[in-house]
Each structure stands twice: as structure tokens, then as C-alpha cells.
């Protein structure tokens, strides 16, 4: 297992923060990592200091203009970590790709030529179960779902997992569900404690042990075009994403052993 999608149909739950910092942590050591920004808001791209005027060429050019994917790869400031940017054009992907034969496989076809070049590939998906998210689920080996402990966010997870199940029934083999990640956790609130208990009680061992707490450093890092490891390497957020990376790699290894 080497490809991972970070998925949630709701925005503001720490999805991009998770994709960016997992990718940066994956890239430690000798690993080569690629993060692909599939969101029209391009938040992952901005998090690495890419300006709006510099997003082209992007993954959108691969989908809509037949630009070879190798021509869209760029290096980031993190050693061993490459990026393919998102772009505004992705907002129209469902319409543009509606009549494309095999539209759910476009990302898989494009990424195939890169698989041997990278140890891990991470997809930062848009906050919807759009054709781009479906492409990521078809392409990835596994997916995780970040969720903040709020009632509406929890309802969104139920809807998302149900939609993924129906997508699998319609398409066939898609990414394996690796787990739910609790993000933006503030344990000073009794309501938060109750929701966390509810989530862990309902989803059992699929919920990662690691929780990502509310962190000013995590919120500030994208503004400096840095991952948490460059911006605040000694912070709680840095430690949490390191712990999460270990958990994810362990689960990926176990899932791979099941196949």
C-alpha cells in the first residue's frame, strides 16, 4: 500500500492540514512522496507557499488539457516531497467530465506512470463526494476521514461512509477504509468529550488512537508556506502528526497483509 486519500464531504475539519502534514512526515528519511491537490480551493498548494498566480500547470491541466502528469510535478521546500497543484478549473470537474468515458478512472490512468517514482502518494480531496473524490477513491489503496467532534460533522461521516459504500457497489474495488481521525479536539468542553465517546463507541477500533488537538501552530503554518515540522517542530501538533503517521503506516501494513 502506497497511495492514501484524505476524504471528507464537509469542509473545515482539518482535511488539508492532515494531508499536508502527513505528506511532510512521510517524506522524512529516504522516502519520496507526492501530494496531489484535488481541491479547487488549492489549500494544500497554498500551504506549501504556492501563489494563486503560480498554480499552473496543475492537476486540472492533466484532466482537461491532456498535459502529461510528469510536467505538472514540482518540488516543495520539504526534502523528498513533491506537489501537483490544484486549480479553480477543478470546480467544474463534474460538468466537464460528465460525458467522459471511464471518468472515474482518469486519475488512476494518470498516476500509473508515477507509481514507481514515489514511496507514497497522498490525495487531498475536495470537501464533497464529487467525481474528483471518486477518482481518488478508485486510485488510492486506502483512505482516512478526518472529523472534528461536532454533531454536524459526525452526521457528515455517516453520510460519507454510506455514499462510499454505494460508490463501491456501483464501481467495484475502491480504496480500503483505514480509519477516522479526530481533529480540532478541545477536551476542555464537556460536549466534545461526549461526542468523542460517541464516535469511539460507534466506530470502535476504526478510530485512530491519535487525536489532533486545536493548535495555533497548525493554524499558522500554512500562512508561512510550511508544514508543522518546519514551522513548529517541537509543538504538540508536530508530535501528534508523527504519532498519526506511525499509526497509519501500521494499519496500511496490516491491510496489505490481509490481501
Q: According to the model, what pLDDT value does residue 229 have?
A: 97
Q: According to the model, what pLDDT value does residue 259 have?
A: 54
Q: According to the model, what pLDDT value does residue 147 have?
A: 93
Q: Which fold, 3-258?
A: Rossmann fold (3.40.50)
Question: Who's near 188: CB < 8 A, 6+ residues apart?
Answer: none
Domain ranges of the chain: 3-258
Q: According to the model, what pLDDT value does residue 185 have?
A: 93
Q: According to the model, what pLDDT value does residue 167 have?
A: 82
Q: According to the model, what pLDDT value does residue 258 have?
A: 59
Inter-residue contact 19 to 47 (CB < 8 Å): no
Spell out the per-residue pLDDT of the chain, length 259, in tens: 899 999 998 888 999 999 999 999 999 878 999 999 999 999 999 999 999 999 999 999 999 999 999 999 999 999 999 999 999 999 999 999 998 888 999 999 999 999 999 999 999 999 988 999 999 999 999 999 999 988 777 777 888 888 888 888 888 788 999 999 999 998 888 888 888 998 899 899 999 999 999 999 999 999 999 999 999 999 999 999 999 999 999 999 988 765 5
Q: According to the model, what pLDDT value does residue 10 have?
A: 84
Q: How many residues does the chain have?
A: 259
> Cell triple for residue 128?
464533497
Write down the pTM of the prediction.
0.95
DSSP assignment of 129-150 equals --HHHHHHHHH-SEEEEEE-S-
Inter-residue contact 184 to 13 (CB < 8 Å): yes
Q: According to the model, what pLDDT value does residue 173 have?
A: 80
Q: How many of the other CB atoms lie within 10 Å of CB of 78? A: 22
DSSP assignment of 192-240 equals HHHHHHHHHHHHGGGEEEEEEE--HHHHHGGGGT--HHHH-TTSHHHHH
Q: How many of the other CB atoms lie within 10 Å of CB of 234? A: 7
Amino acid at each position: 500500500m502506497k497511495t492514501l486519500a484524505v476524504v471528507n464531504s464537509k469542509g473545515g475539519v482539518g482535511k488539508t492540514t492532515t494531508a499536508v502534514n502527513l505528506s511532510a512526515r512521510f517524506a522524512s528519511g529516504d522516502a519520496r512522496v507526492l501530494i496531489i491537490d484535488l481541491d479547487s480551493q488549492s489549500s494544500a498548494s497554498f500551504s506549501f507557499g504556492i501563489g494563486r498566480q503560480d498554480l499552473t500547470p496543475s492537476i486540472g491541466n492533466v484532466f482537461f488539457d491532456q498535459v502529461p502528469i510528469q510536467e505538472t510535478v514540482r518540488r516543495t521546500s520539504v526534502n523528498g516531497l513533491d506537489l501537483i497543484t490544484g486549480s479553480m478549473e477543478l470546480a467544474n470537474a463534474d460538468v466537464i467530465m460528465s460525458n467522459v468515458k471511464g471518468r472515474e478512472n482518469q486519475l488512476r490512468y494518470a498516476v500509473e506512470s508515477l507509481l514507481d517514482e514515489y514511496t507514497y502518494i497522498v490525495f487531498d480531496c475536495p470537501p464533497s463526494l464529487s467525481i474528483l473524490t471518486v477518482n481518488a477513491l478508485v486510485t488510492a489503496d486506502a483512505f482516512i476521514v478526518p472529523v472534528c467532534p461536532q454533531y454536524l460533522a459526525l452526521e457528515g461521516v455517516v453520510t460519507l461512509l454510506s455514499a462510499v459504500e454505494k460508490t463501491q457497489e456501483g464501481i467495484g474495488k475502491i480504496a480500503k477504509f483505514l480509519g477516522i481521525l479526530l481533529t480540532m479536539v478541545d477536551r476542555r468542553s464537556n460536549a466534545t468529550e461526549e461526542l468523542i465517546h460517541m464516535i469511539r463507541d460507534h466506530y470502535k477500533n476504526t478510530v485512530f488512537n491519535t487525536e489532533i488537538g486545536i493548535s495555533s501552530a497548525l493554524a499558522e503554518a500554512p500562512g508561512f508556506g510550511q508544514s508543522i515540522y518546519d514551522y513548529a517542530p517541537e509543538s504538540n501538533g508536530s508530535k501528534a502528526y508523527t504519532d498519526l503517521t506511525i499509526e497509519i503506516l501500521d494499519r496500511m501494513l496490516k491491510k496489505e497483509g490481509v490481501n
